[in-house]
Chains A and B, each alone.
Chain A
Amino acid sequence: MAIQTSRRNFLKSTSAFAAAYAFGTMPSLARAAREKELNIYCWEGYNSDDVLDPFRREFDATVRAEGLTSDPDAVNKLRAGETKVWDLINVNNPWARELMWPEGLILDLPRERFEPFFEKMMPAFHPPYPWAMDKTGEHLLGVTQRFGPFNFVVNTNKISRAMAEDQGFKLFFDPAMKDRYGVLTYDNWNIYHMCVAADVHPFKQHTPEEIAAFSDAAKQVFNGAKILTDDLVAMNLALINGEIDAYFTGGTYTASPARYDGHNNVRGITPNSGPMDGKGGIVWIELTSVVNNPQVSPLAEEFLAYIQRPDVSKNVAFAEGTYNPVTQMGDEAVLGAFDSEELDAIQWDSLEEEMARSQDYDINPDYAEMYDHYSAAKRERES
């Protein structure tokens, strides 16, 4: 009995100690540990060792980076409480200004430290760059780096670039294209591109007639498609194998891995004209922001400054997975780091004209309603 009592006492005191340790000392320990710790939630590329290892060595830091597969999914995770986990989030341009900043999910950056970086970028990104600012124009919400026109992709051995650019998204309505193309199901992008195909500006308030036109376009695109997949590698493979001759929704981001692999006939196309104030293409720009983490790592801002360096910018552009232009290519030191094959992979020859024909990716105010039409068209597809 005596033994039992003492065991109980022992258990009591140890558990009390454990509890005190867990609730009392842990937060301060965690804080101390975060000085050397950085968690990044990003599109693939920033999580490559080529980008992270030099930073780990220089700052003697433990860096954990996880690749994300969709912007809305990433924002969902922050909403669901993962602001406690991540220090940096890297998503496409509209999310920071329109959603993450108003919802208190991200922090602003010191302008005096980061705006000089914008001055060295390509002219279109010089400060104040609207997508990096909040709506009042006072707060800097992140830094830009990768970007790219994103419309559709063709096999130029089968469909000429000039013809594809002239026809734009109408190409996919051509009866001769039935079962000769795939739809890369990046749902949000598909919706924007189906708007453009229906001659509707995707980033404005829509009339019922415009939504009906969009719905018809969605049905036509899905009914004529041979393959639907959200896997860009599978889509490129189908294009190279001749299973399809084009795919709806794609661009430098998806075509570049195939091009860098020697398949220069895989080409991202930006239409010559369209319904967005005459523009027929859309361009995405990534913005990397500091997460509103209650114990945000001091290394978060250091990392944002680190990725501006010429060698790191090049590594980000050509990290594993997909290859993309970076805004830092406005700096000769960065541009000079790319060889001709790499520039060809990211379609550098036509980048400027494609950008001129493109509208910036934005929020679609009728996305919810259009999504219902879109998902119905996908489900009801005549296969």
Chain B
Amino acid sequence: MKIVARWIRQPGFLTALPVGIFLLIGFAGPLVLVLLYSFMPPKTFTLGQVPTIENYISVVTQSYYISFGWSLALAVVTVFLLILITYPVAYGMAKIFGKWATLITILIALPLLISENIRLFGWVLLLLKNGIIDGSLQYLFGLSLSGMLYTVPAIVLGMVYVYLPFMLFPLVIGISMVPESLKEAARDLGASRFQIFREVELPLSMPGILIGSLLVFILTLGSLAESKILGGQAIVMIADDIESAFTFAQNWPKGSVLSVILITISLIIIYFLFRKIDLDRVVGRR
């Protein structure tokens, strides 16, 4: 009891209390509500009903695996593409560009000040049949690329574009954490450029890659706007199913079940990712 009392009196605990309470109400609270709703009978709007697993059975027996599959697949593809695209840029920003890096940071961060939907509609105008790209190609070369919009690649393009800063900036930090002295030591010991990259730079910048990948993965898994605006719902993402369940279907419990499953999948993936990669080692504490 005394230990608890002493622990409570700690300044650390006391100063963390306001934000702790805020997180409890604002973050954990809604999640608990969603979890509770998932056990309520279908199409009920209060929590005072007899709990049931009917919604879970209905979700598992229906074809929701397709939406989960698409969301997971697109999240993985986006993460890999972004690693490939942003690693060289991040490397340049951390090690090569010098004072120009600030300008590039500003240029990349600037679009974040504009609503995602507006930026995606910009892409619609570019990709549209007779739009900026198709129209220009027709006018200049007599070529037509009318099938660009409303396809899965258009959705991936939207995701890569929207979530690029979320991968880039953690990567810049990750790469700038790699000490030059280690690279020099590797070079002195006769390592080739590729060996230095694979055995020194890549492992040491792993925290950045991991954090960026996680951010992008979680964001794309729950994304909706790209598939709606650029994809013309060529495929149905799980976030779309969740939104529909809460609105058009008027079935909060089913929407809650889908949300709970999505959160659980994310948690499992994060858990295994961190377990496999051993954060302590990559951040150099062990």
List the interface of chain A (C-beta within 8 A of B). Answer: 70, 72-73, 76, 79, 182, 185, 187-188, 226-231, 234, 237-238, 241-243, 368, 371-372, 375-376, 378-381, 383
Contact = CB atoms under 8 A, between A and B. Distances in A.
A15 to B, nearest CB: 15
A118 B189 CA distance: 91
Nearest to A372: B62
A226 B231 CA distance: 11
A380 B66 contact: yes
A376 B250 contact: no
Interface string B176-196: 000000000000000000000
A368 B244 CA distance: 12
A73 B250 CA distance: 8
Given A79-B45, A243-B146, A380 B229 contact: no
Nearest to A378: B236
A376 B63 contact: yes
Contacts of A372: 58, 62
Contacts of B246: 76
A234 B149 CA distance: 11
Contacts of B229: 229, 231, 234
Contacts of A79: 45
Given A237-B128, A379-B66, A380-B66, A229 B232 contact: yes
Do most interface residues of chain B lie in helix, strand or loop, or is the interface mixed? loop
A241 B138 CA distance: 14
Contacts of A380: 63, 66
Nearest to B152: A383
Contacts of B130: 241-242
Contacts of B109: none
A379 to B, nearest CB: 5
B136 to A, nearest CB: 15
Interface string B229-246: 100111110000100101
B64 A379 contact: yes
B146 A376 contact: no
B228 A229 contact: yes
A375 B146 contact: no
A70 B248 contact: yes
A241 B66 contact: no
A70 B244 CA distance: 11
Contacts of B131: 241
Contacts of B43: 368
A76 B255 CA distance: 13
Interface of B: 42-43, 45, 58, 62-64, 66-67, 124, 128-131, 146, 149-150, 152, 228-229, 232-236, 241, 244, 246-251
B232 A379 contact: no
B247 A76 contact: yes
Given A228-B233, A241-B130, A378-B236, A187 B63 contact: no
Nearest to B42: A368
A237 B246 CA distance: 29
Contact of A188 (B58, B232, B248): B248
B64 A187 contact: no
A229 B155 CA distance: 13
Nearest to B58: A372
25 contacts: A70-B248, A72-B250, A76-B246, A188-B248, A226-B232, A228-B234, A229-B150, A229-B232, A229-B233, A230-B233, A234-B229, A238-B129, A241-B131, A242-B130, A243-B128, A243-B149, A371-B248, A371-B251, A375-B244, A375-B249, A376-B62, A379-B236, A380-B66, A381-B236, A383-B234
Nearest to A69: B247
Contacts of A227: 150, 232-233
B66 A234 contact: no
Given A72-B250, A241-B130, A383-B235, 10 more contacts: A79-B45, A182-B232, A187-B249, A226-B150, A229-B228, A237-B128, A241-B131, A379-B236, A379-B241, A381-B235
Contacts of B67: 379
Contact of A371 (B45, B149, B152, B249): B249
Nearest to B234: A383
A317 B146 CA distance: 36
Contact of A70 (B241, B247, B251): B247
A182 B129 CA distance: 14
Contact of B124 (A73, A234, A371): A234
Given A234-B124, A237-B128, A383-B235, A73 B228 contact: no
Contacts of B129: 238, 241-243
Contacts of B236: 375, 378-379, 381
Contact of B233 (A70, A185, A243): A185
A242 B131 CA distance: 12
B247 A379 contact: no
Nearest to B245: A375
A173 to B, nearest CB: 21
Q: Which of A227, A229, A238 has the most CB of B within 10 A?
A: A229
Contact of A368 (B128, B150, B251): B251
Contacts of B228: 229-231
A73 B247 contact: yes
A79 B235 CA distance: 31
Q: Which of A73, A234, A381 has the most CB of B within 10 A?
A: A234
